[in-house]
Amino acid sequence: MTPEYRKRAFLALLAAAVGGGLIAYGWGRRSSEDTPAPASSRSLTSYVTQQAEDERAGLYGMEPLKAQHGALSWDLFAAVQNTTREEPSSTGAFPNAFRIILKPIFTEAIKQYDGQRVKIMGYMFPLEDGTSQRHFLMGPYPPTCVAHYHAPNNQVIEVKSDTPIPLTWEPILVEGTLMLLPDDPKNTFYRLEKTRFIKEYPQKQP
């Protein structure tokens, strides 16, 4: 990871801490089902919508990783739009809670890869403890928070592998079967199954 990425990652983490955290929906150490928003906080919907727009424009000024070595372009995933709706999610702590449901609108371009073996190049976000991962997320941005991967839902891929893959903060190249998920409860749009690790690509230092 280059010094510029480290600097921007630090600023992103600081912004998240000052803002009280940015977990609103999707993947993280705690999902939106675990921490629903009070129904009285209707401003949350506009907040997460603006957050998603900010992230789509570039994560705190970071440029998305350019896929190489035969990997699918992240632009292919970024072109997927979604609809948004609210659903009651009552809990003991928040009896009038609701959660935000995103439904992806897959493009014809990405549909052709559904169920196909593809290569993905990106950064890992761990979902398990330890120095190797069988279950993690991948995206075009380096992680900037220990609790939540701050990237738009349309640029996050859930990855599952039978063989542990070494955890690294550098970009990696993997191959797996891409599955499009139209109704995932965690607002996941894509999953890569039967994944195998190919290579790590350390970023050059200036």
pLDDT tens figures, 126-162: 999 999 999 999 999 998 888 888 889 999 999 999 9
Classify strands 97-105 and 157-166 as parallel, antiparallel or unpaired: unpaired
Classify strands 190-200 and 157-166 as parallel, antiparallel or unpaired: parallel
pLDDT at 148: 83
- Of residues 3 and 132, the one with the higher pLDDT is 132
- Tokens 């440029």 found at: 63
Q: What is the pLDDT confidence band of residue 97, given thresholds at 50, 70 and 90? A: confident
**pTM for this entry:** 0.73
| Token representation of residue 56 | 């789509």
The mean per-residue pLDDT over the stretch 168-196 comes to 96
- Tokens 């993690």 found at: 136
Note the pLDDT tens digit of each residue in 22-60. 333 455 443 334 444 434 333 444 444 445 555 544 455
Cα separation values, 28 from 37, 137, 143, 184, 198, Å: 15, 10, 11, 15, 25
Residue 9 pLDDT exceeds 80: no
pLDDT at 61: 67
Judge whether 67 and 73 are in contact, CB under 8 Å.
yes
